Homo-oligomer: A and B are copies of this chain.
Amino acid sequence: MTVKVGLLGLGTVGIGTAKILLDPAERHPLVKAVEIYRVGVRSLDKPRAIELPRDRLTTDLQAIVTDPNVDVVVELIGGLEPARSLILEAIRQGKHVVTANKAVIARYGDEIFTAANEAGVYVLLEAAVGGGIPVIQPLKQALGVNRIQAVTGIVNGTTNYILTRMQEEGGDFEAILADAQKLGYAEADPTADVDGLDAADKIAILASLAFGGRIKLEDVFCEGIRHVSASDIAYADRLGFVIKLLAIARRDTCPMSNEALEQLQLRVHPTLVPKHHPLASVNDVYNAILVEGDPIGQVMFFGPGAGEGPTASAVVSDILNIVGTLQSQSVAAASEPQNPLLACTHQHYCQVSPMADIVSRFYVRLLAKDQAGVIGRIGTCFGNHEVSIESVVQIDVHGETAEVVVVTHEVKESNFQAALAELREFANIQQVPSVLRVL
């Protein structure tokens, strides 16, 4: 049985996908069962790194998703429209869909999966998170027997590259971002990466799978890395931490009983990670996703989070998953029940805790005058709001100004913010350049 694929988009990932499918030797034998039947492109005449018969190419993407011969539509054009409409049309036509489009799934997953379940087709998205790293499928299948407590990821390669270089070179954000742009590791408009929006899309998708509920993207708290400075990285280093942009989805626990609640924490922010933590040594453009569950404990998936080859590997693995499922069914797919491990059937929305309720540790860097009295003042102010201090380090003195770094114990966000607001009012606190969370 040959399965006919309609490929939408022949950019980097599309080229990588076609390369695998056109060169099946020494790969899983099932790769041979996949035929690139139609490829939708913007221009027919552009020179490309692969050879495809000219009559397979078309600029009419709509014709691909409605072609009765196409079994699986592979959406690799990215962005919201026309990607969303093409995916929905493919589903309506009874076609399975494979996509690498995190933005469209994070925003329209609800609509897309509802339509897919009605049509009895699969929508697979391994390439949408973590590039080539198999993490979507393990979350749906191998890890699904666990009661998941948390998914914590370094899921954006650009910011991890920038933070790693800041760590290694002691350089500042702006200079290294500019260099990363020159080297092609960051986009000309770096907003989606450095402001954490890309990571927010991805953690919304991971949380939905890990906790079996739908996620509203606006529920994800999102803070980027623009304000992380070379001196924060240096202080963190001295305190035994590295700074990483983490995307966190965690089942909230009751602070009194430590019992799991029905609410999730969902947040993306730069975080001080202890050096011995498995995520601390994930550097450069690599991604990693740490899953904690009962009874498995901690499992981590590490690998290349982007790039032609890795992302294409994930796309083709999804195609194969559909081919394998179709081959194990003796009759036409549409009349068969779905494999619940591949389908996405949850309907309800997850409850997400407001950020003000979340308990975490904080790192604060302050510039203060009159150092003799200032530490007492900080301590009192934090104490008034039940913020307990783990350590105070007065690291550098420049003339009359002392730089003071405070690390707190676990504290409720709203209490911490109230203390911070009060602190900012003190005459001898000149500036609070950094507030970061600690894992």
> Which residues of chain A have a CB within 8 Å of any CB of chain B?
16, 19-20, 25-31, 126, 132-134, 137-138, 141-147, 212, 260, 278, 281, 293-304, 307-310, 312-314, 316-317, 320-321, 324-325, 327-331, 335-342, 345
Show 11 residue pairs from A and B whose CB-CB distance is below 8 angstroms, ordered by the A residue. Answer: A134-B141, A137-B142, A142-B314, A145-B316, A145-B317, A278-B281, A296-B303, A296-B304, A324-B339, A324-B340, A329-B336
Give min CB distance, A310 to chain B, whole Å. Answer: 5
Complex alpha-carbon distance, A331 and B297, angstroms: 37
Give min CB distance, A152 to chain B, whole Å. Answer: 13
B320 touches A296 (CB 8 A): no
Knowing A142-B134, A145-B31, say if A337 contacts B330 (CB, 8 Å). yes
A316 closest partner in B (C-beta): B145
A132 touches B297 (CB 8 A): yes
B303 touches A143 (CB 8 A): no
Knowing A138-B134, A313-B296, A325-B328, say if A30 contacts B304 (CB, 8 Å). no
A147 closest partner in B (C-beta): B26
Give min CB distance, A124 to chain B, whole Å. Answer: 11
A27 touches B144 (CB 8 A): yes
A317 touches B143 (CB 8 A): yes
Knowing A317-B142, A328-B337, say if A295 contacts B28 (CB, 8 Å). no
Complex alpha-carbon distance, A146 and B335, angstroms: 32
**Of B145, B330, B338, the contact of A28 (CB 8 Å cutoff):** B145
Complex alpha-carbon distance, A424 and B113, angstroms: 69
**Of B281, B310, B335, B341, the contact of A281 (CB 8 Å cutoff):** B281
Give min CB distance, A206 to chain B, whole Å. Answer: 15
